[in-house]
Chains A and B, each alone.
Chain A
Amino acid sequence: MTSDTKEIIESAGTNLPNLFDFSSFGVFWKEGLFLYLYQEESCPPSFTKSVVENMVKVLSILGEEPIDVSRVTLRVEKRKLRPNQMMNPQATLKSHLTLPLPVEGEIIGCISLNSDQPNAFDAQDLQFFSVIGYQMTATLKHFQRFSSIKDMAIYDTLTNVHNRRYFDERIGAETQKSFLSGTPLSLVMVDIDYFKNVNDTYGHTEGDKVLCKIASLFKNSVRKDDTVARYGGEEFVLILPGAKLEVTSMIAERIRRLVETTLFEVGQTQIHLTISLGISNLPSHRARSEEELIKMADHALYNAKRGGRNRVCIFMGYPAE
């Protein structure tokens, strides 16, 4: 759930007490099974539990597949919704209105108004609540589309790793951070060995599949804060903030071995592939700019190729003129 989404929910939670008499307002987000409850301060655990169970049940019915309530992540915000009333310590859910949040034919979650009183809601409440639900859905759809456009601007559409444009921005920012704070920064340039042969032998469609698979291997091999980007046709680049040279070397070698031992499906057959990797590092290599850091990693990659491919090379300086 993004911070934009949380803001929308909190805004709804703040305004709803002016419109309805309820004990809690819930939003259940299908992705990640995140359930956000905005409820009366004096709500006992029995009430919260019955609301959660009901929302899980409804979303299971709507989504036509069961949801395990133990997998739900619950976040509760308590507010004084009824200043002069305290809820019964044994209160449970007695009435509710629950509506799905549909976005382009798909249910992304549901919202719910809940009460410890029976028959707390009528047709008019339902009409009004559905209008709020649609407004919330429209806003969420807008944020989703905006986020998709943002994604298109920074992700390579084939391999789903970051694109060159994102890399250029990121390396600039990380290099500056490293210069200012002295924290290490590593760059790894990666090239698939003899990739042209794959395209020539099996065609570009199969070649694209290989690129996707390799990109996926890279993504799964790096740490959370690392960046994987497609630098060119069959060239990738990894940004490892905070990584010293030794750690980077270990990660690079692990990736190299992983690719070497993976079987790639191309057409009706399976093939082995290898990669060459070149590493540069701040502060070890004393690059004075991000361009220099990139050039150093590129030179190390060149040495890896010259040295026989399927290897990791660390930048060792440029040959004497």
Chain B
Amino acid sequence: MASTVREDKEGKWSSDLVLDLYSGLLKEIWEIVSALIGEAILALLFLSAIRKIGEKHPFLISLKVSEEGIVLDRLKEEGQNLSPLEIHRGFQSLINHLFQLFSALAEGVINKELFPKVFPKVKEADRIISQR
């Protein structure tokens, strides 16, 4: 019983950590890319990616995007009931899809700016997941 409680608590903490990590990452992506292509276009791309990836990872639909930016409050609330692995996979797919969209628009120009920031964070998420 005690070990089950401990495992649940660790799982919950991992979910929080992964959520926080990806929330920060999305905000960073927003900051970098909006400086290159503007908020209106970026919001459209985010919404398109959420629509597409949300089919497989419905929790992402809670992500609110507008020209003002990304709002993660509701997603953080709803993500609390998900396993760290689910969160990790969902966000990974979302970010991969965004990269594909950026690449379609401007080939490597946008992704070149993003890789140095994104890659270490994704690795960090991998590490958190594998620690369980």
Contact = CB atoms under 8 A, between A and B. Distances in A.
Interface of A: 57-58, 61-62, 64, 95-100, 102, 105, 107, 119, 121-123, 125-127, 130-131, 133-134, 137
A69 B52 CA distance: 24
Contacts, number: 58
Contact of A130 (B37, B101, B113): B37
Binding site of B, secondary structure by majority: helix, strand, loop or mixed? helix
Interface of B: 35-38, 40-41, 44, 48, 51-52, 101, 104-110, 112-113
A100 B41 CA distance: 7
Contact of B36 (A98, A105, A126): A126
B29 to A, nearest CB: 15
Given A62-B48, A64-B48, A130 B107 contact: no
B36 A123 contact: yes
A6 to B, nearest CB: 23
Nearest to B48: A64
A127 B106 contact: no
Contacts of B104: 57-58, 61, 98
Nearest to A137: B40
A131 B113 CA distance: 19
Contact of B106 (A61, A64, A126, A131): A126
Nearest to A54: B104
B106 A98 contact: yes
A282 to B, nearest CB: 53
A98 B109 CA distance: 11
Contacts of A130: 36-38, 41
